[in-house]
Chains A and B, each alone.
Chain A
């Protein structure tokens, strides 16, 4: 879909590394360049025309995001990306509210950004990080999640879509469970928000994190949605201009209320404006259409790869455009170097989910992750390259 919107696709490449980052449509880049070239100014300070235009463009993106994931405008905080968002949840909110003996449930399929902050505060606070069991497909079932819950469980912190297996967690059901049990629900939406309709309010999420660059937007910008009634209880990790109401020489100070409290300093203005344009672009195509398109391509890829005897597939069932595989007997990085020779861009490694190896019994895989601009031709090019992979070492050495 919409391949003509992406200048990078004018080169003869197959871009299958969308779990890592996505290509940018020209309209997103143009929107950013327009700000940078024609009305550069800081936000919330100037009284001149360009500054007023910048304010309007920047603040307007909060509304775009709120409509995109169904939350209130004053629940939208701009961050530098999902990693920062998740760290803000753990160090800004949880560190203040959790106490010794409390339990946090995550899984072994989580990205490093939803593991390491927890491990860090677990040592500091004496809380326990529990891993809900994954099933034989390395997916999280509601039953297994319920089994992990005890009366000490205070938080469930999971990705809506995991970045290696690509399983889609039923956040609506989990949100309901959390609401009934009085558990905070923290969702890593880095791999879900770009690919499907996500509803913050309906799913009873308390926190939702995602990144701009994984959804046709620029790098350096992300979002943290925080339920409004929790936001005032969250502490900023960064102090400075733009986030304070007043401060005095005697040491007294007052911080702003709402998202601004968490956006100290000059924010990435061009990037926020670019993100807004990216969201409008995705909405124009339709999130349901994007998801259905990726599923269709994944099904084609799985059915074709199953015909090749030396390809080992790991997550054929998951309902997203992510597929992890290996060429039998070949180290994942050699496979990705081989595919690069055919201008096919994939990712090799543990994909920042280093503890998933305990479940998968394998450390490294090749990951194909799709997006709206991939097509059947891309899939068949990959299949064709893998069919010819008996000569892999002639190519990579």
Chain B
């Protein structure tokens, strides 16, 4: 991907993130996610109905990578079946960790395919949070 386009997508999602701000609703799963290695600290909440992820919100203080990744990830997951969400999260994690992955599944998330090593945890912060919430449901 062209580096200017990559930067534009990340910056746009950092400055105008989707669904930033929490909602008051007890039907949502909730989790706090932070990194040991850096200072990102975000709260996530997610609503699942009939096996589909119908809403995700987040809020808190985090860097450009964590914030934009939360926004793009949420956009890519909304309305999808839990199975499909798990597949996307799994591929996203593989991409960040520089393992083989299915590019087609990730859409705009491919902007993070060339991260500096010290930003990997930032990019993984939202996916770890969402994975944990899904784990609660499928327990």
Contact with B along A345-367 (1 / 0, CB 8 A): 00011100000000000011000
Report the minimal beta-carbon distance from B61 to chain A, rounded to whole angstroms: 6
Q: A331 CA to B38 CA in the complex, in Å?
A: 12
- Interface size of B in residues (CB-CB distance below 8 Å): 19
A397 to B115, CA, bound (A): 8
Given that A363-B61, A397-B64 are contacting pairs, would A333 and B11 also be in contact in the complex, using a CB cutoff of 8 Å?
Answer: no
Interface centre among A332, A333, A396 (most CB of B within 10 A): A333
Tell me if B31 is interfacial: C-beta within 8 Å of chain A: no
Interface string of A308-343 (1 = CB under 8 A from B): 000000000000000000000001111001000000
Q: How far is the CB of A212 from chain B (nearest CB, A)?
A: 24
A393 interfacial by beta-carbon distance below 8 Å:
yes
Residue of B7, B10, B39 touching A332 (CB-CB under 8 A): B39
Contact B63 A331 (CB under 8 A): yes
The answer to whether the Cβ of B138 comes within 8 Å of any Cβ in the partner chain is no
Residues of B within 8 A of A394 (CB): 7
Asked if B119 contacts A337 (CB within 8 A), the reply is yes
Question: With A337-B119, A350-B39 given, is the CB distance from A331 to B62 under 8 Å?
Answer: yes
Q: Are B64 and A396 in contact (CB under 8 A)?
A: yes
Q: With the chains together, A397 CA to B67 CA distance in Å?
A: 12
Chain B, range 1-53, C-beta contacts under 8 Å to A: 6-7, 10-11, 14, 38-41
Given A337-B118, A393-B7, verify A348-B64 contact (CB < 8 Å). no
Asked if residues B64 and A393 are in contact (CB atoms below 8 Å), the reply is yes
Query: Is B11 touching A393 in the complex (CB atoms < 8 A)?
Result: yes
Query: Could you say which residues of chain A place their CB within 8 Å of the CB of B14?
Result: 393, 397
Give the CA-CA distance A334 to B118 in the complex, in Å: 11
Q: Which bucket holds chain A's interface residue count?
A: 10 to 19
User: What residues of B have a CB within 8 angstroms of the CB of A397 in the complex?
Assistant: 6-7, 10-11, 14, 64-65
- Give CA–CA (A364, B64) in the complex, Å: 14
The reply to whether B118 and A348 form a contact with Cβ atoms under 8 Å apart is no
Q: Which of A4-43 contact B (CB under 8 A)?
A: none
Least distance between A105 CB and chain B CB atoms (Å): 29
From B65, which residue of chain A is reached at the shortest CB distance? A397
Q: Which residue of A lies closest to B8 (CB)?
A: A397
Which residues of chain A have C-beta atoms less than 8 A from B61's C-beta? 331, 363-364
Minimum Cβ distance to chain A for residue B10 (Å): 5
Q: How far is the CB of B16 from chain A (nearest CB, A)?
A: 13
- Which residues of A have CB within 8 Å of B39? 332-333, 348-350, 363-364
Q: Which residues of B contact A331 (CB under 8 A)?
A: 61-64, 67
- The residues of A with any CB-CB pair to B shorter than 8 Å are 331-334, 337, 348-350, 363-364, 393-394, 396-397
Contacts A/B (CB < 8 Å), 7 sampled: A331-B63, A333-B38, A337-B63, A337-B118, A348-B39, A394-B7, A397-B65
Given A393-B64, A397-B11, A397-B65, 18 other A-B residues pairs in contact with their CB atoms under 8 A: A331-B61, A331-B62, A331-B64, A331-B67, A333-B38, A333-B39, A333-B63, A334-B63, A334-B64, A337-B116, A337-B118, A350-B39, A364-B39, A364-B61, A393-B14, A397-B6, A397-B14, A397-B64
